[in-house]
Each structure stands twice: as structure tokens, then as C-alpha cells.
Structure 1
Amino acid sequence: MEASKVYYTSFKTSGSENLLQKLRRLCITAGMKNIDFEDKYAAIKIHFGELGNLAFLRPNYAKVVVDLVKECGGKAFLTDCNTLYVGSRKNALDHMDTAYENGFTPFSTGCHVIIADGLKGTDEALVPVDGEYVKEAKIGRAVMDADVFISLTHFKGHEGAGFGGALKNIGMGCGSRAGKMEMHCSGKPAVDQSLCVGCGACVRICAHDAPHITDGKAGIDENKCVGCGRCIGVCPKDAVNPTNWNASNLLNYRIAEYSKAVCQNRPCFHISLVCDVSPNCDCHPENDIPIIPDVGMFASFDPVALDMACADACNKQPVVHGSVLEEQMQHVHEKDHFHMVHPDTNWESCVEHAEKIGLGTRNYELVRI
């Protein structure tokens, strides 16, 4: 397959151009204005950040994209779907409160926020995709009602998928609560009770009452567990681990197929900002220090090529002193930063499967501007 163009610019600025102006120039150079936005609804998929997390993208970046859509005659809105787990974005009201508190108001971004799967995460469109693992994706209805789809992604690590790039932002992010359950359901965690201290973090984070504390140790009821993996991320002793070692691959395959369901049959454009590269997802109510220095801003019509370009750029970066990545290097020695941070994950499976199903290509040409 012919290489897809991925456009890139660093975070280095001059007195004549700031970062927001660079992002605008990047989007225009990459061809965003070639999309027909006239009188079209444009969904801009972004992560608003869990309350307490400060690694999410600043709303200033979103305004650049919104302004470009409006200049082209489009009707823009920022969107995301509700979370499967307990947190500050588990229903539309809490989700919008969180978005506003984190700065994503109509006054700062120039457009409204719409939670795509409705009040309780049940407003979904069933989208035929006929994949190997997903036959009918459950996508937030507002996402599918839009004429044009734009992903604006904070590129970072992820405890389940390896990293959270464009495909993760699109596939998992646009899934309704039932869709998220479908993507997560193949792997269910278990507790190493020799490491467990009975702190109850897993109990507090679970939306399905699966973890329980008995005689000072946690256990997980597999009949209630949906396999979302939140307990894995919050355990302070790394006592909770997946029992299905293929779960990461299956999760990524389904993310790829959900991404195809979102992007097929309409104009799409994708932007990824590789900054504040935290080891975990912005879904966490906290963020650790970045694992690598800030890299730059990337844009492409091909989300697969975009993720590959971002991953390759990240793996060329030095390790930030004091980061989780530096700590992991004492135990794991690999060239891949994301696999070192989360050794049980395999991010390559997502881009490989996305290429296989025709969503894009891993072969890219990096165009520096």
C-alpha cells in the first residue's frame, strides 16, 4: 500500500508564531480545509480529562480546530462518550461538569460540548462493521449523527492498550457504555493475594461490584466483572493482573474495528499532540510525570499511519529522569518505551489489525513543516 502522509511540527516556537498558530498551520498544510464543511455537523472527538488529571490537552488547542471548522462553514461540537468505570465522567451531567471544570466551555473553545451516548451512556447507534471480532459496533449516537469526524488526541501511555493514540481515542472513546463493555470483555483480572494489602482501591473504582475484601484481601467475582481493567490501574501494589494473556490483543483488535465503524463512509481528519506523555490514560484521576520529553504535533487523514508516526517518534526520545519508564528500565530492557512501561500490553496489535481491515496503513511519509 502506498505510504500515507503524516504532517509534523515540533513544539519549538519563534517570536512570530506561537503553538496555537503552529497547530493551525499544521492542520491547513495537512489538508483539513479540503474537507467540505459547508453546513455540515463536525464532531471533534477529544478526551476532557478525569477530574484531578492535568495531562489532558488544553482547551486552547481545541479552539484552533473549532475555529477552522467554522471558517469553512461547518457546525462544530466537542464530544466524548461516558465511561464504563466509576469516576467523574460516568454520566452526561457529571461528564459535562468535568469538561467545564477542566476548561472546555463554549466561551473558551467556541463551541458546545455534547456527550455522544446520552445521559446514562445508552444512546447509541448500532453500526455494521462485519469485523472478525465485532459485527455491529455500539457507537455514541451524536458521533454517528455528525457529517464529518475529527479526532484530536492526546498521545500517551495506556495500561490496557499500550498507548492511547488516535485509534484508542476513536474506537474506545466513541463506544457507548455497552460498546466499551464489548471491547473490554475478553480479559478478566485476578488478585495476587501475596501482594494485596486490602486497601480497597479496586472496590472503590469498580462500577459493577466485582471486587470484594475478605479477611483483609481482595478477590474478584468473575460473574460480575466486565474486564475493563480499571482495578489493574489503581492497585498501588500491582496485585491485580489480567488472567487472559491475549486480552490486550483482543482489546486492541476490537478498538481497531470500532475505529473503522466510526470512520467509514464519511470525511475524517486526525490530529495527535505528543506532549505530557503520561504513562497512563487521562481517565485516571491523577497523572504521573511524563515518561519522555514533549515531541510535537502530528496530523493526517490516516489514523493508522498517524499512530505509527507518533509511536516511532516517541521511541526515539530519551527517558525522563524519575519517571515510571526509568524505574521500569531497571527490570525490562527493550527499545519500545510503551512496552517497557506496560509489559503485558501489545500496542502493535491494534495498528496491525487496523491495517488488515483497511482502515489505513502503517507505511507513512513524515512531512515536516
Structure 2
Amino acid sequence: MDKSKVYFTDFKATGHENLLQKLHRLMKTAGFENIDFTDKYAAIKIHFGEYGNIAFLRPNYAKVVADYVKELGGKPFLTDCNTLYVGSRKNALDHLDTAYVNGFSPLQTGCHVLIADGLKGTDETIVPIDGEYVKEAKIGHAIMDADVFISLTHFKGHEMAGFGGTIKNIGMGCGSRAGKMEQHCDGKPSVNEAECVGCGSCQRICAHGAPIMENRKVHIDHDKCVGCGRCLAVCPKDAIAADFSDSVAMLNYKMAEYSLAVCKDRPCFHVSLICDVSPNCDCHAENDIPIIPNVGMLASFDPVALDQACADLCNQMTPVKESVLGQNLAHEHDEAHCDCDHDHFHMTHPDTEWKTCIEHAVKIGLGTNEYELVRI
């Protein structure tokens, strides 16, 4: 496969061109206008940020993308899927409230927000891909209903996947609740019996008889469970949760295959901003100081090359001394070795790695990790 082009610009601005105008120029130079947007629905996949987190991308950037789509005759909407964990984005109503609080209202961004997998995270499209680890991906319906798919990613660290980049934003982010369970584990939830009040809501919603009530406490029969996630949505005490049991490598493989399910057979374009590079996902209800200084904005038609380029650029940066990364380096190396050849993201979370995701994405044809960095 030939090298993919990844377009890059830094965060320097002048009186003649601010950062929003620079993002527009980056997208234009990268070939955004080669996509036919005329009367097409365009899903802009973004992370709205958990309530309490302020490291997520500013809605101003989303407005640039949405306005550009409208300029080309398209119909944009911002979108994400509900979370598997308990938080401020676990259902569409709370998710919308959080998005609006964080600035992603139609008045600010110029387009509407659709939570792709519906009110309770069960509105999904089954996408056959016959992957090595995923046979049928469960993707938020509104995302698959769109004619064009655009990812707008905040590139950052991640406590499970090493970093949260474009593939993470697409693969995990576009999965319905059942899709997220499939990626994180074997797709079966369990009950914290200490929190269970025996109300029977999970039994009433389950079509397969998986929740079993004994002594006014429920447990899930995994032989009957199909992993639909409906019980998580209706539990009034949030006593039901997924078992995050898969290895990091398996999580990476599945995210790559879910990304392929989202992107195949339709026009796609990807933008990634390396700024406020927090050590953890924007799903946290807080954010620590960045692990590296701001780097820049990147765009490409190839999500794999984009992630690889972002990782390479990040690893060239000097760590922020007071950050988690800086502190971990201080423990591992003396000052003379601070610039040694290492991976910033693995050093931030030593139990994680991200390279298996890139390798598998290349293997299945999602893209290539060979790229030409075009600086504008």
C-alpha cells in the first residue's frame, strides 16, 4: 500500500489567520472538498466530554467543520453514542444535557446534536464485517444512517488503550451499548448484588430470561445473555455493569474492526487535534494537566496513518515535568536519560499499549501506518 498523506499545521496564529481559519485551510488542503456533500447527511463524530472534564475539544472547532459541510451543500450533525459506564452521558437525555453544558448547542456549533444509539443506548445497526474477532458490529443507528462520516478527535492519553485517537473515537465511540460491551469484554454484564434492590426492572426488559432473581438479588445467567445492554439502561441503582475483562490487545483488535465497520463503503474524512493532551480519556469527570505541550492539527482520509502520525509527533515532544508522564519518567530515569527512546503513552500508563491497534488496523485494510507528513 502506498503512503497516505497526513496534513499538519501547528497552533501558531497571526492577525491574518486565527486557529479556526487555519483549521478550515488544513481541511481544504487535505482534500475535504473532494467529498460530494450535496444534500448529504454528514455525521461529525466527536466526544462531548464528561461533565466536570474541560480537556475536550472546544465547540468552536466543531463549528468550523459543520459550517464547512454546510458551505458544500451538506447537512451536518454532531454525534456520539451513550457510555457503557455510569456517568453524565449514560442515556440520551443526560448526554444531551452534558453536551449543551459543555458548549455543543446548535447556537454555538451551527448544527444539531443526535445521540446515535438512542435514548437508552439500544438503537443500533448491525453491520456484518466477518472480522477476526468481530462478526457483526453494533453501531449507533444515526451514525450508520449518515451518507458521509467525519471524525473530529481530541488526541490524548488513555488509561486502557494507551492513547485515545481516531480509531478509538470511531471504533469504541460509535459502538452502541452492546457494541461497547463486545469490545471491552465478552459482551456480558454482571450485577453488583450489594447495590441491587431486587426491583425486577432488568427481568422485565430482558427477552432472554438472563437475569435470575434469588433472595431478592439478581445475577445474570451468561449462557442466556446476548449482551444487548438493555438491563444496564433500566437499572435504577446502576447495579449492573460490564465486565472489563479483555486484554489490552484484544480491545485494540476489536476497536480496529469496529472502525472498519463504520468507515467502509462510504466517504470518510478524519481530523485530529493534539492539544490539552490529558493522560486519561475525556470520559473522566476530571482532567489532569497535559502530559506534553500542544502540538497541532492534523487531517487525512486515512485514520490509521493519522493515528500513527499523531503518536509520532507526540513522542517527539518534551514531557511536561509536573505531569503524570513527567513524574513517571523521573522515577524511571535519571536526568541524563530523560530524552531516551521511549513511548510517552506507554510511560504514562505502563499497563497499556497502542501498537497492536495500529498493526491490526493495517492488517484488516482500514488504512496504512506508512505516511507522508505534509506541513502547511
Q: State if a TM-score over 0.5 links the two structures.
A: yes
1:290 counterpart letter in structure 2: P
The CA deviation at 1:328 is 1.1
**Equivalent residue of 2:28, what SS?**
helix
Alignment partner for residue 359 of structure 2, among 334, 343, 352? 352
Give the whole-Å Cα distance in 2 for the aligned partners of 1:178 and 1:344: 25
2:296 counterpart letter in structure 1: G
Residues 164 and 181 from structure 1, CA distance in 2 versus in 1: closer, same or farther, beyond 3 angstroms? Answer: same
| Structure 1 segment 207-356 matched on structure 2, within 5 A | 209-210=191-192, 247-332=247-332, 335-356=342-363
8 Å CA contact retained: 1:332, 1:340: no
Q: Which residue of 2 aligns with 1:192?
A: none
Are residues 1:52 and 2:59 paired? no
Give the whole-Å Cα distance in 1 for the aligned partners of 2:288 and 2:220: 30
Residues 184 and 332 from structure 1, CA distance in 2 versus in 1: closer, same or farther, beyond 3 angstroms? Answer: farther
* RMSD after superposition: 2.2
The CA deviation at 1:129 is 0.8
8 Å CA contact retained: 1:140, 1:174: yes
**Equivalent residue of 2:172, what SS?**
helix
Give the whole-Å Cα distance in 2 for the aligned partners of 1:287 and 1:87: 15
Are residues 1:155 and 2:162 paired? no
Q: Which residue of 2 aligns with 1:200?
A: none
Q: Which residue of 2 aligns with 1:108?
A: 108
Q: Which residue of 2 aligns with 1:233?
A: none
TM-score, normalization by structure 2: 0.84
Give the whole-Å Cα distance in 2 for the aligned partners of 1:155 and 1:186: 27
The CA deviation at 1:210 is 3.8
The CA deviation at 1:336 is 0.3
8 Å CA contact retained: 1:156, 1:280: yes
The CA deviation at 1:38 is 0.2
**Percent same amino acid at aligned positions?**
73
Q: Deviations over 1:22-70 (max 9, x none)?
A: 0000000000111000000000000000000000000000000001100
The CA deviation at 1:323 is 0.3
Q: Deviations over 1:239-272 (max 9, x none)?
A: xxx996x700000000000000000000000000
Q: Which residue of 2 aligns with 1:6?
A: 6
The CA deviation at 1:330 is 3.2
TM-score, normalization by structure 1: 0.85
1:165 counterpart letter in structure 2: G
8 Å CA contact retained: 1:166, 1:307: yes
Q: Which residue of 2 aligns with 1:65?
A: 65
Q: Which residue of 1 aligns with 2:174?
A: 174
The CA deviation at 1:321 is 1.9
Give the whole-Å Cα distance in 1 for the aligned partners of 2:364 and 2:116: 25
**Equivalent residue of 2:311, what SS?**
helix
Give the whole-Å Cα distance in 1 for the aligned partners of 2:59 and 2:265: 29
Structure 2: which 5+ runs fail to align? 196-218, 228-242, 334-340
Give the whole-Å Cα distance in 2 for the aligned partners of 1:252 and 1:331: 28
Residues 358 and 282 from structure 1, CA distance in 2 versus in 1: closer, same or farther, beyond 3 angstroms? Answer: same
The CA deviation at 1:209 is 4.4
1:326 counterpart letter in structure 2: G
Residues 211 and 263 from structure 1, CA distance in 2 versus in 1: closer, same or farther, beyond 3 angstroms? Answer: farther
8 Å CA contact retained: 1:49, 1:283: yes
Q: Which residue of 2 aligns with 1:198?
A: none
Q: Which residue of 1 aligns with 2:199?
A: none
8 Å CA contact retained: 2:191, 2:220: no
Structure 1: which 5+ runs fail to align? 189-206, 214-220, 227-241
2:358 counterpart letter in structure 1: V
The CA deviation at 1:187 is 11
8 Å CA contact retained: 1:164, 1:281: yes
Which segments of structure 1 move beyond 6 Å, counting only runs of 4 or more? 221-224
Q: Which has the larger radius of gyration?
A: 2
The CA deviation at 1:173 is 0.1
**Equivalent residue of 1:152, what SS?**
strand
8 Å CA contact retained: 1:171, 1:258: yes
What is the aligned residue count? 328
Are residues 1:22 and 2:22 paired? yes
8 Å CA contact retained: 2:157, 2:281: yes
**Equivalent residue of 1:44, what SS?**
strand
Give the whole-Å Cα distance in 2 for the aligned partners of 1:122 and 1:186: 18
Give the whole-Å Cα distance in 2 for the aligned partners of 1:253 and 1:315: 23
8 Å CA contact retained: 2:185, 2:244: no
The CA deviation at 1:15 is 1.2
**Equivalent residue of 1:173, what SS?**
coil
